[in-house]
Amino acid sequence: MIGIFDDSASMPRNPKKHRRLDDDPPDGEGADPGRGTAAPSVPSYKDFLVQNSTHLLSESDEIMDEEEIPMEEGDVVRSEVDGMIAIDFSDRIISLAEKSFEQTVVVKLLRRRIGYTTLRNKIYELWKPSQPIKLMDIDNDYFFVSFRTKSDYQRILSQGPWTVFGHYFNVQPWTPLFSTSTAYPSQVMA
């Protein structure tokens, strides 16, 4: 039996194992890049998807890129009407703005509210778009979903009906006459 006055008991004990910087880590992942020898770079999952996503597009698909609308003289006219600032846009600017919405749908989850992040995750889970989407939260629980490819846009409109959390997920093409003032959509696509 070892007593309390034994010499081995008076030595400090350190249960942690220490590794020298010269040694490779136990997982075998290689050395620290700051010490001269770097481990081989493994592409991330995102890089893999982005690199391999271009072959998923059909030949007729054109990726719609975001571009700045070039402004010309007279495109935007500012004025004051009854003490309120009024901004008028030229027909050219209006047509360019409408063109940027040509692959956009208006969505609303009926009889239930849904947050932006939850909806974004559900859209990617349900629709599995070939390219990233743009989601925009607008008034009265409506959302705009813009697609970069025509095939994604047409597939979403032609398939369905869609349900999220057991509630009908209304999807309709965007039109210039769309208004968020109504609590429920006036147009339902089946």
Q: Where are the domains of the chain?
A: 73-102, 103-185
pTM of the model: 0.57
* pLDDT tens digits, 61-89: 555 455 666 778 888 888 888 899 998 98
Of 10-14, 18-22, 122-126, 183-187, give the range with the top mean pLDDT: 122-126
CATH number of 103-185: 3.30.70.330
pLDDT at 81: 87
Burial class of 100 by CB neighbour count within 10 A (0 to 12, 13 to 18, 19+): middle
134-137/143-146 β-pairing: antiparallel
Task: Report how far residue 67's alpha carbon sits from residue 46's, in angstroms, rounded to the nearest whole number.
Answer: 24
CA-only gyration radius of the chain, Å: 29
pLDDT at 55: 45
54 pLDDT tier (thresholds 50, 70, 90): very low
